[in-house]
Amino acid sequence: VIEIGQPEHSVVTTCAYCGVGCAFKAEMRGEEVVRMVPWKDGKANRGHSCVKGRFAWGYTTHKERILKPMIRERIEDPWQEVSWDEAFNFAAAKFKGIQAKYGRDAVGGITSSRCTNEETYLVQKLIRGGFGNNNVDTCARVCHSPTGYGLSQTFGTSAGTQDFDSVEDTDVVMIIGANPASAHPVFASRLKKRLRQGAKLIVLDPRRTEMVESAHVKALHLPLMPGTNVAVVTALAHVIVTERLVNEAFVRERCDWSEFEEWVAFVAQDKYSPEATAIMTGVDPKVLREAARIYATGGNGAIYYGLGVTEHSQGSTTVIAIANLAMATGNIGRPGVGVNPLRGQNNVQGSCDMGSFPHELPGYRHISGDAVREQFEAMWNVKLNKEPGLRIPNMFDAAIEGTFMGLYVQGEDILQSDPNTKHVVAALSSMECVIVHDLFLNETANYAHVFLPGSSFLEKDGTFTNAERRIQRVRKVMTPRNGYADWEVTILLAKAMGFEMHYNHPSEIMDEIAALTPTFTGVSYAKLDELGSVQWPCNEKAPEGTPVMHIGGFVRGKGKFIVTEYVATDERTGPRYPLLLTTGRILSQYNVGAQTRRTENAVWHSEDRLEIHPHDAEQRGVRDGDWVRLASRAGETTLRAEITDRVSPGVVYTTFHHPDTQANVITTDFSDWATNCPEYKVTAVQISPSNGP
């Protein structure tokens, strides 16, 4: 006899929130999830989970899910429910019409880091093969694109170097611009365990994060001013070089020596001494020297970093500076060390791996390479364009200029998540056809002409790749409520466009990926079922995957030192905007909150608050809990104040989980010089008392 609430069977799948990639058993009664139980054999989580993965899956059956396709001629018109065929034909006619009128390059698309590897692969295939251009980008553009650039330049691979298990061999943990206790909680627990066992902790962050405040460990906290990462990390290098703490044997064997010498001369300059940089960075020179000595001499040193590194005008430079630091101290190529980006979204690593950037085919191979392109052309039976396409900000600019008129957005609320909302609105309003493929009518859908209902992670088969390059199965536990999994929707949209793609199951898509991608040649669903997961590269040389990279040699050959000149951001404070705003997350919400806000549970009831130092609050007559107006050169919004000395004087901080806060109304257009990753983490602002929104 089955009682109400008692599961009948269970299916192992992977959490669809953060880049930790916790494995869960979905305990089912028919098509209904009874509960999600962290899977003890999950290699990334070992039976642990956080509140989001365990309890915040209710959005999959939320009443606001849109289950029927909708179309409209103009964004002023009401939505009209139509059949799938009508929606596909409408969208295809619009896109073909745009290409006939404005040219082949006038359309493009954005893949989703929330979707599976297979779905992401199909979207870029549709754009390259069906649209005939390379106007494909991904939300990694606005988070970890500098990681891809910086690590590929220095080490030769666009990914973190270690597995999570590596932390168990770490003696010194350096966290830069990340708050794993909120954003990667299950990995944070493993970090804290290692710290309780005696590892030392160094934190570079403008804010005293939960990791700094942890009762169990004493952290060396460097509360740098937002925007000065390059100066601080280069000053750490200055101490390591001038105090002769370099691991010369490692550098001689593993790196290009002449580039190293050039770098040594650069970082040894007096202008990068802790004392000289202190004025601009706000970091006590004594603390900075101590941090450099501990990292260089304290045993195995591992660096973990997040969006506080990448979302800056010098995001790529900071990633390079971090890689320099690891190479100079020999902290690379064995367990316990390394350079580890803490990826935000469940599959942001995978979406990058799958060729979502406008200049790269799957496996990070440049589109201009004739041999690589010919391989894809033969498999896809098309002729590919060898010119890199538009990045997301270029698409917006081109739309406003009238040359980019059609956009297919899968699983990404660009209006809420991209910087300078006014500019995004202007771009979307200029387009003749925006296709939103999503679970909910998100903010971007306000400017869409076609809405294609999306499917949740519980309704599809596929794979996600987590922050440690671990490829794990996502398994369907219920029939798609909207009728189709996302991979099927892309295939049908492509067919309507006249571009045929034939797959019976996502495993066949993975087989194609493996056939075309050298780092994936050993990956198959059979292997994933047998081993539970594998970390790429997984090929003939490493049939069971690669937990730690760059052992014995860098992927690019010799490790490359690159000088990292500090250049202050153009976003300057002044009399009108004297404070610097930076942003982050809380544990119980996820990014723009599209899923967590749609889960019925008191835990999720939160609001975005503005943290203000007591000194700055007093100067402006603001008390704890007051409404304040937060204004920048780009726009303004209203939030409640939280008075706290977690932030330094001159710095304010907020989260961005709620659409009513519209935090991105105030962020600017400045972006990373190499990748256009927006500078979310530095905005000059003013605050003043307000009566509320």
- Residue in the shown chain whose Cβ atom is closest to ligand SF4: 53
Q: Of these, 12, 13, 22, 140, which contacts ligand SF4 (CB under 6 A)?
A: 22
Rounded least distance, CB 655 to ligand SF4, Å? 16
Q: Indicate the residue among 139 and 580 with the shorter CB distance to ligand SF4.
A: 139
The two counts, helices (H) then strands (E), for the chain are 23, 26
**363 binds ligand SF4, rule: CB under 6 A:** no
In the range 255-294, which residues lie near ligand SF4 by CB under 6 A? none
- List, as one string, the DSSP characters of 379-438: HHTSPPP-S----HHHHHHHHHHTS--EEEEES--HHHHSS-HHHHHHHHHH-SEEEEEE
To the nearest whole angstrom, how small is the minimum distance from the Cβ of residue 475 to ligand SF4?
16
d(CA 621, CA 688): 8
13/675 with CB nearer ligand SF4: 13
Q: Look up residue 86 and give its amino acid.
A: E
Identify the residue among 21, 69, 306, 358 touching ligand SF4 (CB under 6 A).
Answer: 21
| Nearer residue to ligand SF4 within complex by CB, 36 or 224 | 36
CB of 556 to ligand SF4, least distance (A): 31
Residue type at 687 in one-letter notation: I
Does the protein bind ligand SF4 through residue 178 (CB under 6 A)? no
Chain-centroid distance, C-alpha 607: 22
Q: In angstroms, what is the minimal distance from the CB of 434 to ligand SF4?
A: 29
Q: Contact between 186 and ligand SF4 (CB under 6 A)?
A: yes
Determine which residue in the list 17, 84, 304, 305 makes contact with ligand SF4, applying CB under 6 A.
Answer: 17
Q: Considering only residues 25-84, where is the footprint of ligand SF4 by CB under 6 A? A: 45, 49-50, 52-53
Minimum distance between the CB of residue 202 and ligand SF4, rounded to whole angstroms?
Answer: 23
- The backbone region for 5, taken as left when phi is positive above 0, alpha when psi lies in -120 to 50, beta otherwise, is left
Name the one range near ligand SF4 by CB under 6 A: 12-20, 267-275, 418-426, 663-671. Answer: 12-20
Binding segment for ligand SF4 (CB under 6 A), chosen from 18-26, 85-93, 241-249, 612-620, is: 18-26
Residue 191 exposed, middle or buried by CB count within 10 Å (0-12, 13-18, 19+): buried
Q: Is 655 left (phi over 0), alpha (psi -120 to 50) or beta?
A: beta
Q: How far is the CB of 659 from ligand SF4 (least distance, A)?
A: 21
Asked whether position 15 contacts ligand SF4 by CB under 6 A, the answer is yes
Sequential DSSP letters for 285-319: HHHHHHHHHHHHHSSSEEEEE-HHHHSSTTHHHHH
Residue 12 near ligand SF4 by CB under 6 A:
no
| Chain position carrying tokens 């500019």 | 423
User: Nearest approach, Cβ of 589 to ligand SF4 (angstroms)?
Assistant: 11
What distance in Å separates the CA atoms of residue 575 and residue 403, rounded to the nearest whole number? 39
For the chain, the residue count is 693
Binding-residue pattern over the window 615 to 644 for ligand SF4, x denoting contact by CB under 6 A = ------------------------------
Point out which span in 17-25, 359-367, 429-437, 447-455 binds ligand SF4 (CB under 6 A).
Answer: 17-25
- Nearer residue to ligand SF4 within complex by CB, 42 or 333: 42
Q: Is 20 in the site for ligand SF4 (CB under 6 A)?
A: yes
For the bound state, the minimum distance from the C-beta of residue 569 to ligand SF4, rounded and expressed in Å, comes to 31
In the numeric block, which tokens belong to residue 373? 């392109």
Smallest distance from the beta carbon of 16 to ligand SF4, in angstroms?
8
623 contacts 643 by C-beta, under 8 angstroms: yes
CB of 91 or CB of 342, closer to ligand SF4: 342
Nearer to ligand SF4, 410 or 595 (CB): 595
Dihedral through CA 111, CA 115, CA 121, CA 122, nearest 10? -80
For 184, 340, 370, 380, the CA distances from 23, given in Å and listed in that order, are 14, 21, 40, 33
**CB of residue 608 vs ligand SF4: minimum separation in angstroms?**
19
In this structure, what token pair is assigned to residue 190?
A: 């493993």
CB of 664 to ligand SF4, least distance (A): 22
The region of 15-23, 60-68, 261-269, 327-335 touching ligand SF4 under the rule CB under 6 A is 15-23
Provide the minimum distance between the beta carbon of 253 and ligand SF4 in the complex, in angstroms, as a whole number. Answer: 37
Would you give the distance in Å from CA 472 to the centre of its chain? 18
Q: Tell me how far apart the alpha carbons of residues 509 and 236 are, in angstroms, rounded to a whole number.
A: 45
Name residues contacting ligand SF4, limited to 651-670 (CB under 6 A): none
Residue 3 neighbours by CB under 8 Å, 6+ apart = none
The angle formed by the CA atoms of residues 408, 107 and 439, to the nearest 5 degrees, is 5
Point out which span in 11-19, 540-548, 556-564, 610-618 binds ligand SF4 (CB under 6 A). Answer: 11-19
**Cα(292)–Cα(237) distance, rounded to whole angstroms?**
7
Site of interaction with ligand SF4 (CB under 6 A)? 15, 17-18, 20-22, 45, 49-50, 52-53, 185-186
